[in-house]
Amino acid sequence: FSSRFFLFFSLLSPIFTLISQHASGLQVEVFEGAESVQLPCRVKVSESDGSTAVWDQDDLRIPTVHVRQPDGDYLRDQNRRYEGRTAMMEDALRTGDLSLTLRRPSFTDSGTFTCTVRRLGEELHQEAVELQVKGQCCSFSECSTCWKVFRTALCS
């Protein structure tokens, strides 16, 4: 393979994200080293307006990833692994777009994230998003392996 191909792959892979729908919910795939990845969660405005949105990852001892309340983010109970790496749009509860942006995703972030909307203790909506953070090829000698991974991700 030419060095031009390797440069092309190196530039593409950090921003490559694949979102697919499965019977068990949404699956998001991203390569490690990406600047960020977005975990989608959209609900009816009638459910989100005035509610609290909670993103959890149940595999963790402290499962809270991000909490958005009507008056802003509540991150006091956030798992330290996600400190400074999560964000939601300012108007998320008013628009129903509760998508979570996770900065600098790493392989250890892989797992099931749950977006839950609650109002006055009542659960109004819940959906799961499976995040798979894939390793990235690091050297020129791994180019053929990189191509197989890249092609499989694009074509499957």
Provide the pLDDT confidence category of residue 6 given band limits of 50, 70 and 90.
very low
What's the CATH code of the domain at 50? 2.60.40.10
Three-state DSSP state, 76: coil
How many domains is the chain partitioned into structurally?
1
pLDDT range class, residue 135, cuts 50, 70, 90:
confident
Name the pTM for this structure. Answer: 0.74
pLDDT above 60 for 98: yes
Between CA 58 and CA 100, with CA 90 as vertex, the angle to 5 degrees is 30
**Tens-place pLDDT, residues 43-79:** 999 999 999 999 999 889 999 999 999 999 999 999 9
What is the pLDDT confidence band of residue 107, given thresholds at 50, 70 and 90? Answer: very high
**Which pLDDT band holds residue 93 (cuts at 50, 70, 90)?**
very high
Cα 146 to Cα 135: distance, rounded to the nearest angstrom: 10
Q: What is the pLDDT of residues 78-89, one digit of tens each?
A: 999 999 999 999
* Contact indicator for 70, 51 with CB cutoff of 8 Å: yes
Domain span at 7: 3-155
Separation of alpha carbons 35 and 119, rounded Å: 33
